Amino acid sequence: MPVREAEATDAGEICALIEEHARYEGNDTLVLDRDEMTKHLFGPDPKAWVLLAEPPGEPGKIAGLAFCSWNFSTWEARPGIWLDDLFIRPEYRRCGLGRELLAELRTRTTGRVEWDMREGNDKAAAFYAELGAEPVPGWIRYRWSFRG
């Protein structure tokens, strides 16, 4: 199966994928601390989890990821999934891996699977619409960042 749970030994590759995604989105300076990421994903109190996509016919190679955490909807009274990052390396796009990652997420909750998408990403918008996902009208996301 080309989608699998990430393991602690995958932390370096997870960080590399996130850094590649940042460069794809125009952030050429992001460098993640591999030890911190390992602690937050695989330590005694994990804060997030990752699914990895392996390309067909290339076992052990990593083509992309879904980086997730649990959320909870008070209005639905059930847990859902926050998808913080979905990224497939360009050479593996159009192989169905993004669809497989999202399908696996859908099996893990009867609640909502939610994510942000950068404005103007028409290819992603078309892909998400094809899956049946819709933008959330009338809501604006806020962010309160630690500045220490």
Q: Is the pTM of this model over 0.85?
A: yes
Q: Say how far apart CA 102 and CA 51 lie, in whole Å.
A: 10
The pairing of strands 3-5 and 49-53 is: antiparallel
**Per-residue model confidence (pLDDT) at position 1:** 57
- Full domain range(s) for residue 37: 3-131
**Per-residue model confidence (pLDDT) at position 148:** 67
What is the 3-state secondary structure of the chain? CCEEECCHHHHHHHHHHHHHHHHHCCCCCCCCCHHHHHHHHHCCCCCCEEEEECCCCCCCCCCEEEEEEEEEECCCCEEEEEEEEEEECHHHCCCCHHHHHHHHHHHCCCCCEEECCCCCCHHHHHHHHHHCCCCCCCCCCCCCCCCC
**Per-residue model confidence (pLDDT) at position 114:** 95
pLDDT in tens, the chain (148 residues): 589 999 999 999 999 999 999 999 999 999 999 999 999 999 999 999 999 999 988 888 999 999 999 999 999 999 999 999 999 999 999 999 999 999 999 999 999 999 998 888 898 999 999 999 999 988 888 878 877 6
Q: Is residue 137 part of a domain?
A: no
Q: How many domains does the chain have?
A: 1
Q: Is residue 121 part of a domain?
A: yes
**Per-residue model confidence (pLDDT) at position 30:** 97
